[in-house]
Structure 1
Amino acid sequence: MQGLVYLFIALSGAGLGTATYFMLAFTPIEAALLALIVFIGGVLILERTLRHRAEAKLQKAVSEMTKLLSTDAQAGQVLSKRVNALIDLDLGARMDVIEADMSVLGTVVRQVAEAVSELETAQAASANFASKNGQVDKPVRRASPTVPLTVVEAALDNGRLIHHVRPILTLPQRRLHAYELYPRLQLEGGRLADPPEYMPVGIEGGATVIRRIERICTEEAIRLVRRARLLGEAIKVHVPLAPSSLANRAYFDQLMALLAANRAINPDLFFALDYADWTTLDKTESDRLALLVEEGAGLAVREADTLRLDFAALAGKGVRYLSVDAGQFIDRPSALTDFHSADINDYIRRFGINLVAAGTRSEQQILSLLDDEVKLAQGNALAEPGPVRSDLAEDGDDDLQTAAGR
């Protein structure tokens, strides 16, 4: 910028000299001398102006530095006074007072914890009493089967296991989100028995039949997913899985081979366990569940009786769905969680887990779930268990890829 100013001064001198040469009849030497005098005078004036400006800036900087040093000196004096005041304090007595206050605070915290524990115990006792008197709609565990084991085995031999599904729908759109396989057994006379009626839980020799049923369900789930993908759709299917199946090494190896042969569709398969079974898994069964997750499959935990869970740990184990009874969630949410019922779904979603309100029985319950911002629901009020869509149920050319025999 300064060079440009010098250029303008030189041009001004040259212009003035040229003007005098032509207009005032100056000789070339006189015109050149005038131009030189103008240039030198302009340079001197510019340098003087720049020097005055630099001196003013320097004086201002010195003045500001003086003020800063004065402020620092004052701050140093104040700090010294405070340090001297702290040195003169008798902290021993004050520390004794603080220790006494902390002791009292610890006692108060302990009393609060005991009161909360007593309150939770009273709430649990009240819930049990209300349940016995029919006041609370709690999820019902499977009772002993009424269909004899021999009848179940005969029906399986004759291919009378009917693959129905219980849809999981989105709210409020009520669009299909996933299918849960609901295998029914066709008895003599054409009557269909639900799983609680025939599933041989806790019966001698029943574990083998359960594994056989679950193997058939897994193959059917793979067929459903494959057909849906051939139709350009993507559906998620929940497949029942029992701890007794995980405990059997031969069955588990067959299941792993089946998943390995159909690895491309495994992300749409979710193995569903009851929460009561989930909490009793031993290390071997947990490790085998982890192997299923490594193959790409997901996990679903059904009929949870609490939402006071470590959701980060559940997500780390591959759990993607967690279902609770809709009636209990609506009527007594405090028995399930300490969160507000309208916040728990969003909180669980942070960990990649979908909360499903199962067992909806009325439109009023659906409206309550909408108020609580629950996004997934299942139950007779939305859709009763029934056959899968005809286009998915048809046997196509997409034969099941299997690496192990039944």
Structure 2
Amino acid sequence: MLIFVGICGAALGAAAYFALGFTPIEAGLLALVIMLGGVIIEERRTRRRAFARLERGVEEMGHLLATDAKAGQVLSQRVNALADLDLGPRLDMIEADMSVLGTVVRQVAEAVSDLETAQAAYAPSPKENFDAIGEPQHRRAPTIALDEVKRALDEGRLVHHSRPILTLPQRKIHAFDMVPRLHVDGGRLAEPPEYMPIPTGEGTVVLRRIDRICAEEGIRIVRRARLSGDPVRLLIDLSPASLGDKPALDQTLTLLAANRAVNSDIVFALDYEDWTSLSRPQSDGLASLVQQGVSVALRNATTLRLDFASLAEKGVRYIETTAAAFLKSPATLTDFHSSDINDYIKRFGINLVVTDLETEGEILALLDDGIKLARGPVMGEAGPLRPDLRDEGDDSLRRAAAR
């Protein structure tokens, strides 16, 4: 700004000298007076701006001091209020409560220790405990020779019976277990533990064949039930040997794809120990079946300490455990109270089924625990299917599988 004032003063002095005829001294004095006037005016403007900034700073400082004073006043009031409180009795009460709480915790710890000691002293041996829970039937060595089983399959002597799963307390049919039985010499019907092959060598091939026959018959049964207007839900046993074999798995997937409308009525059942030992290809095979709309059931569960959310995501809708384990030794199955476990599992869309019921007293005990599904000899033995489901004239599934 001062440079501009100097230029203006010099310009006016030069104009007075050349245009107005001023002498050089007069023109210089005029220019000097103009420059001094401009400098004085600019200095006063600068001083006013500085005073204005200073006044604003003082005002802001005053506001800050006022705020600090209010905060100090509030803090002083709170300190005075705390000083007026009589905290002695309250501290004594808190100390007494903490002492009581410590006593309770110590008593609980002593009770838990006593329970663990008693359980260790009176717990059955591992073999006895396993027998109480129930050994998976298909783990036992078959008593019928493999060649006899193959000959019976070739002759079509594998028959399919059903075993009801009932609701409690109404005892209405909720679903059926498929029980494949084998006609042997003398007209006797052999149960699956008597003839089911061990999944090794040639036994694996025969086991896959039985799985395929059962899957075909199961799909045929639920299809006929749908057509008759009285649909049924059917649990069909499936072995890991069929899940890990691509040709066998493809045959089952073809059957399911051809009958997608009834897949929701089909539940493939695996033993819990087989489930826990599934390989990656077998797990992928089971997942491909679930994608077709079928469900999964776990049989002979020896524990209910499971990640039910993960099981539900994998298509598990039923978990079976024996009445002996659930009623006589529930602590071996779950940390929940026996009356709460069913409601907890149901939250994930999974049904708990208690099996092998033999007396009415066991049914009453299950009712007290809120169990909704059960099966066993006292509720109905395995027997032939309904007449409308035993129609042998329906070959559509075989034709679909052949295609």
Structures share fold, TM-score greater than 0.5: yes
2:147 to 145, 150, 158: 150
Q: Using the alignment, how far apart are the partners of 1:402 and 1:347 within structure 2? A: 44
Matched, 1:314 2:311: yes
Please say if residues 262 and 401 of structure 1, whose CA atoms lie closer than 8 Å, have aligned partners that are also in contact: no
Q: Using the alignment, how far apart are the partners of 2:248 and 2:186 within structure 1? A: 32
Q: Using the alignment, how far apart are the partners of 2:150 and 2:286 within structure 1? A: 27
Provide the residue aligned with 2:125 in structure 1.
129
Aligned residues: 311
Provide the residue aligned with 1:187 in structure 2.
184
Provide the residue aligned with 2:231 in structure 1.
234
Q: Using the alignment, how far apart are the partners of 1:122 and 1:281 within structure 2? A: 37
Q: Using the alignment, how far apart are the partners of 1:182 and 1:292 within structure 2? A: 21
Q: Cα distance 1:247–1:123, how it changes in 2: closer, same or farther (>3 A)?
A: farther
2:125 partner SS: helix
Provide the residue aligned with 1:140 in structure 2.
135
Matched, 1:212 2:209: yes
2:364 to 363, 367, 372: 367
| Percent identity between the two aligned chains | 56
2:73 to 69, 72, 77: 77
2:322 to 322, 325, 330: 325
Structure 1 residue 137: deviation in Å? 2.9
The structure that has the greater radius of gyration is: 2
1:271 to 247, 254, 268: 268
Structure 1 residue 400: deviation in Å? 2.2
Q: Cα distance 1:396–1:402, how it changes in 2: closer, same or farther (>3 A)?
A: closer
Structure 1 residue 75: deviation in Å? 8.5
Q: Using the alignment, how far apart are the partners of 2:223 and 2:291 within structure 1? A: 20
Q: Using the alignment, how far apart are the partners of 2:375 and 2:250 within structure 1? A: 32
Q: Cα distance 1:153–1:85, how it changes in 2: closer, same or farther (>3 A)?
A: same
Structure 1 residue 231: deviation in Å? 1.3
Structure 1 residue 80: deviation in Å? 5.3
1:6-405 map, 5 Å: 77-79=73-75, 123=119, 127-129=123-125, 132=128, 137-142=132-137, 143-395=140-392, 397=394, 399-400=396-397, 402-405=399-402
Please say if residues 327 and 365 of structure 1, whose CA atoms lie closer than 8 Å, have aligned partners that are also in contact: no
Q: Cα distance 1:177–1:402, how it changes in 2: closer, same or farther (>3 A)?
A: farther
Q: Using the alignment, how far apart are the partners of 2:252 and 2:183 within structure 1? A: 25
Please say if residues 136 and 271 of structure 2, whose CA atoms lie closer than 8 Å, have aligned partners that are also in contact: no
1:174 partner SS: coil
Please say if residues 226 and 398 of structure 1, whose CA atoms lie closer than 8 Å, have aligned partners that are also in contact: no
Q: Cα distance 1:131–1:82, how it changes in 2: closer, same or farther (>3 A)?
A: farther
Moved more, 195-204 or 214-223: 195-204
Residue 163 of structure 1 aligns with an amino acid whose one-letter code is H
1:239 partner SS: strand
Q: Cα distance 1:140–1:147, how it changes in 2: closer, same or farther (>3 A)?
A: same
Please say if residues 260 and 295 of structure 1, whose CA atoms lie closer than 8 Å, have aligned partners that are also in contact: yes
1:404 partner SS: helix
Q: Cα distance 1:283–1:296, how it changes in 2: closer, same or farther (>3 A)?
A: same
Please say if residues 257 and 402 of structure 1, whose CA atoms lie closer than 8 Å, have aligned partners that are also in contact: no
Residue 194 of structure 1 aligns with an amino acid whose one-letter code is E
Q: Using the alignment, how far apart are the partners of 2:211 and 2:129 within structure 1? A: 36
1:338 partner SS: coil
Structure 1 residue 204: deviation in Å? 2.9
Please say if residues 303 and 333 of structure 2, whose CA atoms lie closer than 8 Å, have aligned partners that are also in contact: yes
Residue 207 of structure 1 aligns with an amino acid whose one-letter code is T
Structure 1 residue 85: deviation in Å? 12
Please say if residues 270 and 297 of structure 1, whose CA atoms lie closer than 8 Å, have aligned partners that are also in contact: yes
